[in-house]
Structure 1
Amino acid sequence: MKHAYMIIAHKNDVTFSTLLRMLDHPDNDIFIHFDAKVKDFGTEEMQKIRNSLSHAGICFTRRTSVIWGGYSQIRSELILLEAAVGHGHYDYYHLISGQDLPIQSTEEINSFFEKNKGKQFIETFSLSEACMDRVKYFYFAQERMGRKELKDLGLFLKLIMKATYVIQNRLKLYRNRQISFMRGANWFSITHELAEYILENRKWIRKTFRWTRCCDEVFLQTLIHNTRFEDQISEQGYLRCIDWDRGMPYIWKREDQDYLQKSPMLFARKFDSNVDPDIVEKICEAYG
């Protein structure tokens, strides 16, 4: 089986280089979207990465600036899918971040997907009423705001954001009324057929989610709702080990090694070599 690993990255650190080393296998090709906000990542750094790999093919996509909660997060995923699907036919397309690591060997991962061929590994559930604000209002400043708290924004932008929300709410100017929205993690492992279906619906995705908030966790699940692809979703979920109880998400540390090695998941996030380099090294030794 052939696998396309699509990486959204924003740091060229030890975690990122370890991830690439662990994915360096003849059955894998690696596609990287590196955040345009990082100015010290250029041609020289890309060539060093190419030279460091012996087996996997590698492709750097065009770079865009990715802002938390903005449509740019969806755009980066579509850029990666376009690059991977345009390059060739892969059995599975895996979306991961530059702070993820495999927690199974490549042979075990490939064997798993061989046994489960045709299934989609996506998290999906109904979008709660409390989260409907994400999709029913226009968020024209989201690409400027990101994770910043209102107190950190300029006065003019604060006033515009507040006024826009109040007007839409008071006048009940709700958008996307006829759509049944779903939600789930943005990370996935999907088949070639579904990857093509997503790209075929790029215009609908942009029209529906262009000015929404945090909808990288909504667009895919909503797109495939009530389609044949929804019936293909595995009960095993999206195969990522992520701890939201201790962090946003929690950064794995050396004391978590035993827990990670016992996990039935295939990938884990979040790792940070600046916080705990030991766990990054130990995971690479175990599964690299």
Structure 2
Amino acid sequence: MSKTNMRHAYLIIAHNEFEVLQHLLNALDDKRNDVFIHIDKKVKTHPNLHMREGRLSILKNTLEVYWGHISQIEAEYLLFETAHKNGSYAYYHLISGVHLPLYNQSYLHAFFDRLKGKDLLMKMDIPVEEVTIKVRKYNFFIKSYFSSQGSTRKISQFLWRASIRFQKIFDIIANKKETFYKASNWLSLSQKSMDYVLKEKSKVLKKYRYSFCGDEFFVPSILENMSLKSNVVYYDKLLKCDFEGGNTKTYSLANYDDIINSGCLFARKFSVQNINVVEKILTNLNSRTE
């Protein structure tokens, strides 16, 4: 394997918590890594981010990203394409700006070397009703579904529910012939699989245009439905991520032992309000070997 192909690309989607993001960059700062960051276009003042050893690229032409909306997939493709044009990589890691690695870069590179080009995804449960609604119905009004404006949010959610009911009554089905698979959108892909995911871009954007959280479906569905199925490894230790009341839990120092003892490669999510747990994790990275 050439030196170029031993490099890893970290693709980061960020919209806030930029102090945490800088700590993340410090943890990824390694001459074997190239880092690409998409900062939501809605952010008016960009942070001053830096790395010393790794190569850092902050995308200039970015998108306004809305949770559950096709814009999430479009932003991911922007990162995929930007990194892919930059060169060939052993792995492309898609993470958020509030991720942290739980091991140092020497450990992570050795771990992925042992995978020998296998893709690492984290499988998620996929109830039939969820597939029916999220990818077999036309989901309108998603862009403002979680609007910070209360009245806009309520109207959008009411119209979305009415639209779904209408489609159920009249048996309107999208993507009838497709088989869908679901995994976390945070993943690690080989060069071969990234090549294929990029080739499928136009089909993906058409198929998932009116999906709800389609970013959790499109990559695993591409890989599982094609000859690359044997290349996929589902690994529940890829990411330590917990939920509280339906929302992603923000970790604090009280969660430190649970995080470190999880055996996961990465953890999410962290906040400047609990920066002490971030600092403690990163301080101890180099002492972790297993």
TM-score scaled to structure 1, two decimals? 0.90
- 2:36 is aligned with what amino acid? F
Task: Supply the distance in 2 between the matched residues of 1:238 and 1:206 (Cα, whole angstroms).
Answer: 30
For residues 155 and 258 of structure 1, do their structure 2 counterparts lie closer, same or farther at Cα, with a shift above 3 Å needed? closer
Q: Is the partner of 1:172 in helix, strand or coil?
A: coil
Query: What is the CA-CA distance between 1:259 and the residue it aligns to?
Result: 2.2
Matched, 1:210 2:209: yes
Q: Which moved more, 1:13-22 or 1:122-131?
A: 122-131
Aligned residue number for residue 135 of structure 1: 135
Task: Supply the distance in 2 between the matched residues of 1:277 and 1:19 (Cα, whole angstroms).
Answer: 12
Matched, 1:284 2:287: no
Query: Retained in 2: the 8 A contact 1:106–1:287?
Result: no
Matched, 1:40 2:69: no
Query: Retained in 2: the 8 A contact 1:176–1:208?
Result: yes
For residues 28 and 260 of structure 1, do their structure 2 counterparts lie closer, same or farther at Cα, with a shift above 3 Å needed? same
For residues 69 and 154 of structure 1, do their structure 2 counterparts lie closer, same or farther at Cα, with a shift above 3 Å needed? closer
Query: Retained in 1: the 8 A contact 2:256–2:281?
Result: yes
Matched, 1:271 2:270: yes
Query: Retained in 2: the 8 A contact 1:126–1:181?
Result: no
Task: Supply the distance in 1 between the matched residues of 2:78 and 2:146 (Cα, whole angstroms).
Answer: 20
Q: Is the partner of 1:68 in helix, strand or coil?
A: coil
Task: Supply the distance in 2 between the matched residues of 1:14 and 1:156 (Cα, whole angstroms).
Answer: 35
Instruction: Please show how residues 240-279 of structure 1 align to structure 2 within 5 Å.
Output: 240-244=239-243, 248-274=247-273, 276-279=274-277
Deviations 1:118-138 (A, max 9, x none): 111012367321202111211
Instruction: Please show how residues 170-181 of structure 1 align to structure 2 within 5 Å.
Output: 170-181=169-180
Query: What is the CA-CA distance between 1:27 and the residue it aligns to?
Result: 0.3
Matched, 1:70 2:69: yes
For residues 156 and 249 of structure 1, do their structure 2 counterparts lie closer, same or farther at Cα, with a shift above 3 Å needed? closer
Task: Supply the distance in 1 between the matched residues of 2:188 and 2:237 (Cα, whole angstroms).
Answer: 7
Task: Supply the distance in 2 between the matched residues of 1:94 and 1:136 (Cα, whole angstroms).
Answer: 28
Query: What is the CA-CA distance between 1:88 and the residue it aligns to?
Result: 0.4
Instruction: Please show how residues 106-255 of structure 1 align to structure 2 within 5 Å.
Output: 106-124=105-123, 127-131=126-130, 132-146=132-146, 152-153=151-152, 157=156, 160-237=159-236, 239-244=238-243, 248-255=247-254
Query: Retained in 1: the 8 A contact 2:10–2:92?
Result: yes
Task: Supply the distance in 2 between the matched residues of 1:86 and 1:185 (Cα, whole angstroms).
Answer: 25
Matched, 1:10 2:15: yes
Task: Supply the distance in 1 between the matched residues of 2:222 and 2:124 (Cα, whole angstroms).
Answer: 13
Q: Is the partner of 1:153 in helix, strand or coil?
A: helix
Q: Is the partner of 2:189 in helix, strand or coil?
A: strand
Would you identify which runs of 4 or more consecutive aligned residues in structure 1 move more than 6 Å? Answer: none
Query: What is the CA-CA distance between 1:56 and the residue it aligns to?
Result: 0.7
Query: Retained in 2: the 8 A contact 1:120–1:229?
Result: no
Q: Is the partner of 1:144 in helix, strand or coil?
A: coil
* Identical-residue share of aligned pairs (%): 29
TM-score scaled to structure 2, two decimals? 0.89
- 2:103 is aligned with what amino acid? Q
- 1:55 is aligned with what amino acid? E
Aligned residue number for residue 93 of structure 1: 92
Query: What is the CA-CA distance between 1:63 and the residue it aligns to?
Result: 1.1
Query: Retained in 1: the 8 A contact 2:144–2:156?
Result: no
- 2:179 is aligned with what amino acid? S
Task: Supply the distance in 1 between the matched residues of 2:270 and 2:98 (Cα, whole angstroms).
Answer: 5
Task: Supply the distance in 1 between the matched residues of 2:92 and 2:52 (Cα, whole angstroms).
Answer: 21
- 2:261 is aligned with what amino acid? K
For residues 158 and 91 of structure 1, do their structure 2 counterparts lie closer, same or farther at Cα, with a shift above 3 Å needed? closer
Q: Is the partner of 1:225 in helix, strand or coil?
A: helix
Q: Is the partner of 2:248 in helix, strand or coil?
A: coil
